[in-house]
């Protein structure tokens, strides 16, 4: 098979998507690679568009995380102020922050929590140990919730920085796409 573009050149590779022949020059000049393999002109463009859509999806998810956390942080703060900065207000505020950060975790693929390893039941052993375990896991749960609540502002900053980075990638990709437009 000969190169799809340079008809007198023998192919040394094939496009990773459509399987058309690519000569050495075309193999070298590919803009994108799929699984480290070169692409023809048309597939380069389509692949670039696909990458852009993927980036946009990620950027949108980060916006969602920012908005959700910001809304719940503000609601929490307002409740805290209405309660004149008392303990009840503080607890409700943290609960709001925690809830926001939990809801937003469905959109967040930067922080993935995989802690299903310890599936050992807390209800095994003598009664004293069970009580200790229940209190321990309750404290653990409260601690986890507090950490999650405090994490809400961190999530906003992290996702904001991540979004800036992705939006820059989208802009760079747009320039590349413009150059290889068919």
Interface residue list for Zn ion (CB under 5 A): 3, 5-6, 15, 17-18, 23, 25-26, 40, 43
Q: What is the number of H-type helices and E-type strands within the chain?
A: 4, 4
Beta partners for residue 10, in sequence order = 2
Specify the residue, 48 or 76, whose C-beta has the smaller distance to Zn ion: 48
Considering the complex, state which of residue 30 and residue 101 has its C-beta at the smaller distance from Zn ion.
30
Shortest spacing between CB 35 and Zn ion, in angstroms: 14
* Shortest separation between residue 37's beta carbon and Zn ion, angstroms: 10
Exposure class string for 16-49: b at 16+ Cβ within 10 A, else e: bbeebbbbeebbeebbbeeeeebbbbebbbbbbe
Q: Which is nearer to Zn ion, 5 or 144 (CB)?
A: 5
CA distance 21 to 4: 6
Q: How far apart are CB 47 and Zn ion at their closest, in Å?
A: 9
**Six-digit token string for 115:** 């802690």
If the CB atoms of residues 23 and 149 are measured against Zn ion, the closer one turns out to be 23
Least Å distance between CB 21 and Zn ion? 8
């Amino acid at each position: 098979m000969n190169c799809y573009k340079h008809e007198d050149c023998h192919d040394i590779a094939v496009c990773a998507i459509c399987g058309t022949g690519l000569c050495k020059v075309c193999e070298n000049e590919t803009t994108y690679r799929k699984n480290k393999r070169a692409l023809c002109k048309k597939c380069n463009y389509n692949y670039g568009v696909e990458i852009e859509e993927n980036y946009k999806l990620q950027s949108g998810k980060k916006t969602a995380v920012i908005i959700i956390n910001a809304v719940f942080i503000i609601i929490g703060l307002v409740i805290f102020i209405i309660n004149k900065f008392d303990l009840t207000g503080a607890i409700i505020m943290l609960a709001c922050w925690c809830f926001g950060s939990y809801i937003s975790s469905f959109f967040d693929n930067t922080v993935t929590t995989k802690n299903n390893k310890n599936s050992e039941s807390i209800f095994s052993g003598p009664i004293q140990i069970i009580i200790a375990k229940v209190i321990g896991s309750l404290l653990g749960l409260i601690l986890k919730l507090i950490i999650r609540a405090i994490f809400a502002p961190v999530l906003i900053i992290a996702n904001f920085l991540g979004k800036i980075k992705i939006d820059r990638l989208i802009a760079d990709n747009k320039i590349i796409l413009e150059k290889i437009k068919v």
